[in-house]
Chain A
Amino acid sequence: QKEVEQNSGPLSVPEGAIASLNCTYSDRGSQSFFWYRQYSGKSPELIMFIYSNGDKEDGRFTAQLNKASQYVSLLIRDSQPSDSATYLCAVNIYSGGGADGLTFGKGTHLIIQP
């Protein structure tokens, strides 16, 4: 049973600060890791993906992966009120047919306080 765990929050962060979102996963076979942002009433939007241990930076976002600890995180620097959303962590395992469906966590509700 593949599981992805996230703290549901809400996580409240002052504007301009760093928001840190965390996720753990159960299946050591997981190979690809994703962060989606979902605004209320909208569909999930891919913001970052990471495959290898270490950090991956894209603008104000940094994804961090530690496969030994089965842990993936997302840092948002210089947080803006527009970053307020639910952040979904997802993992993928390849099967013989190619990229499988994603297993999602429940999401962390992030609130950026002006």
Chain B
Amino acid sequence: GAGVSQSPRYKVTKRGQDVALRCDPISGHVSLYWYRQALGQGPEFLTYFNYEAQQDKSGLPNDRFSAERPEGSISTLTIQRTEQRDSAMYRCASSLGGDEQFFGPGTRLTVL
């Protein structure tokens, strides 16, 4: 079966632009997670959803970051007014609602 997919795989944008990163979880997975991973570091938790409900957004760095999952499947992470410090790999993971999270390939964001 298909795994977690993310698009785009690479995104280059200019400082000040808004970007939207998409995650399509494994079919039937209830929970969806967003992480950010800097080079040489482990993934850093941003936010997660159970179905369409956002359960925890404590990891979002500031109010420029937001996420939604309106129909309980595909999710979008939006970063407004991007800054160079936002450059990182953004990873999405999904799970059946238990602990085992399966990661997608990530979106490499570069802010110039």
Contacts and interface: CB of A to CB of B under 8 A. Distances in A.
Contacts of B101: 46, 102
Size bracket, chain A contacts = 20 to 34
Contact of B48 (A43, A46, A49, A101): A101
B103 A101 contact: no
Main secondary structure of the interface of A (DSSP, over half): strand
Given A43-B91, A92-B99, A99 B31 contact: yes
A95 B48 CA distance: 12
Nearest to B4: A43
A26 to B, nearest CB: 15
Main secondary structure of the interface of B (DSSP, over half): strand
Interface in A35-88: 42-46, 49, 88
Interface in A88-114: 88, 90, 92, 95, 97-107
A43 B31 contact: no
A104 B31 contact: no
A8 B42 CA distance: 11
B25 interface: no
A32 B41 contact: no
A101 B35 contact: yes
Contacts of B91: 43-44
A34 interface: yes
Size bracket, chain B contacts = 20 to 34
A106 B56 contact: no
B68 to A, nearest CB: 17
Given A98-B50, A100-B56, A101-B35, A49 B100 contact: yes
A99 B98 contact: yes
Given A92-B99, A97-B50, A102 B45 contact: yes
Contact of B97 (A4, A95, A99, A104): A99
A69 B97 CA distance: 28
Interface of A: 4, 8, 32, 34, 42-46, 49, 88, 90, 92, 95, 97-107
Interface of B: 31, 33, 35, 40-48, 50, 53, 55-56, 59, 91, 95, 97-106
